[in-house]
Amino acid sequence: MKRVTCFLFLLIFTSSVFAQKTSKKIENLLEVYAQNGKLNGSVLVADSKDVLFKKGFGMADFDWQQPNTPQTKFRIASISKQFTALMILQLVQEGKLKLEDKISTFIPEYPKEKAEKITIHHLLSHTSGIVHYFPDFYQKFSKNNYTPNELMHLFWDIDLLFDPSTQFRYSSFGYVVLGVILERVTGKNYESNLRERICKPLKMNNTGIDNDLNIIPQKAKGYLAAGNLLNCEYRNMTTVFATGQIYSTVEDLYLWHKALNSDLLLSEKYKKLLFTPNKNNYGYGWLMTSQELSKDKKVNTIWHTGGYNGFNAIILREENGYFITILANAEPTEVENIAKSILQILHNIPSEIPKKSLAQTLAKIIDSQNIKVGLEEYKKLQKTSANEYDFAEGALIGLSEYYGLLKKTDIVIQLLEFNAIQYPNSSWTYSNLGSIYAQLGNEQKAVEYYEKTLALFPHDSVAKTYLENVKKRQGK
């Protein structure tokens, strides 16, 4: 008996020491990310039994110098989709709808030729063909207030990108339609459904719907940190609705994760559908992929990211029971890279040392001198300090967004044209150049860059629409 007791004590003690060492390694890693200006938010890491690490980094509110904590509330953006998906599956479980049901069953006024083709399954799995936003949406519509029906009216006349079920195309608007269906079937608004179906049963007391009217204590403000720190551009939260309007904390998302390991919200039969891969390995609100942690080690993960206007987020569940969530309020934050580094620590694999922010370094030079000197410094650092700075494509893209907020269009154009040289296969860069030149009225340049966009990414609806309108004007 004494031997058994001693063995159990030793086992518990060893496990505790390992957890403490792992927690310290994670903290040291994240401190470097924070010091390099690449993490401002909150992080929680757990194994199959308990929380291993949770901590806030940086500020929830820089004006008032309020720090981030595990209790800070963040906009979780597209992570909201998995909540919408689960509530739809609850309705399926309750016999109130079927995955094969068409949009027309619940929204009879939806354009008939689309509504009778698209099913609930198509909407959940991003195989409906509905566009993911459209030209000028952010400039003309994203700051306005809409009811769910009014928001749906903005896009329902736009042609489908393909016949439903034939392809995968991520569509936030598809999840807007799901939100409208949820409200009509239940007779309750999205917020009430979220509260009654998920938050109350799970005691997720720090999760809810964000809008411009409610006062939400301990809610983080969003910032753009690509250059010098700026307040993020405003977006009315009614324009995201069921696709991204939820706020939460890392602690509440851990409760969500634990609930998905039980039958509390859904029976096993329907819960499996969340994590069953369809086209592009996308389930219902979740993505299933294999993460390569080293040459000899891969792990299966179920995850999703979210991001808009100052916020980035990730929620990740790993096959061995590990759970990671990162909620950040200074965009851009490389949540996927940070999560991968944490996974490497959990599997006792050396993680890469976080690199310094190239964008922030260049912004200081551009602001104090000029864009020409800044780009010359980029070339110099590329030769002398490639291992010290992050030269990923997103560095200059983020910097262009920073100067876009400052209305310094000339600098934005030079940054993007330079980025196109560095990354000639970047459809995002060409698309943004096309958009800028279109707004400036330079049709020749806009056409040039939109054609390059479509050559790399044929589904870009913004480029397609612009080029079609040009042809119509020219009578072609």
Q: pLDDT tens digits for 309-329?
A: 999 999 999 999 999 999 999
Extract the tokens encoding 451: 């054609």
What is the reported pLDDT for 449? 96
Q: What is the mean pLDDT of residues 103-115?
A: 98
At 304 the pLDDT is: 98
The two structure tokens encoding residue 97: 């709808």
77-346 is classed CATH 3.40.710.10: yes
Residue 111 above 90 pLDDT? Answer: yes
- Find out whether 331 and 232 touch, Cβ atoms under 8 Å: yes
Contact partners, residue 317, CB within 8 Å, separation at least 6: 257, 260, 301, 302, 303, 323
- As separate numbers, helices (DSSP H) first and strands (DSSP E) second, the chain gives 19, 14
For 30, 328, 347, 354, 426, the CA distances from 37, given in Å and listed in that order, are: 11, 12, 26, 10, 25
Give per-residue pLDDT as tens, 281-310.
999 999 999 999 999 999 999 999 999 999
The pLDDT value recorded for residue 7 is: 56
Question: Residue 20 pLDDT more than 60?
Answer: yes
Q: Which two tokens stand for residue 217?
A: 């204590």
Q: What is the pLDDT of residue 64?
A: 97
CA dist 58 and 34 (Å) reads 7
Domain residue limits, the chain = 77-346, 358-473
Confidence at 468, pLDDT banded by 50, 70, 90? confident
Write phi, then psi, for 66 (nearest 5 degrees): -90, 120
Q: How confident is the model over 177-195, as a mean pLDDT?
A: 99
Contact 103, 156 (CB under 8 A): no
Given a contact cutoff of 8 angstroms between Cβ atoms, the answer to whether 285 and 274 are in contact is yes
| 17-26, 235-244, 404-413, range with the lowest pLDDT | 17-26
Average pLDDT, the chain: 93
Range with the lowest mean pLDDT among 191-200, 248-257, 426-435?
426-435
Q: What pLDDT score does 5 carry?
A: 58
Q: Which two tokens stand for residue 332?
A: 């851009």
Q: Give the residue among 67, 63, 23, 19 at the shortest CA–CA distance from 41.
A: 67
pLDDT of 8 higher than 60: no
Quote the pLDDT of residue 11: 45
* 8-state DSSP, 160: P
pLDDT at 222: 97
Element (H, E) at 383: helix 371-384
Write down the pTM of the prediction. Answer: 0.91
Query: Which tokens belong to 263?
Result: 């039958």
User: How far apart, in whole angstroms, are the C-alpha atoms of residue 189 and residue 245?
Assistant: 13
CATH number of this structure's domain 358-473, picked from the four choices 3.20.20.80, 1.20.120.420, 1.20.1260.10, 1.25.40.10: 1.25.40.10
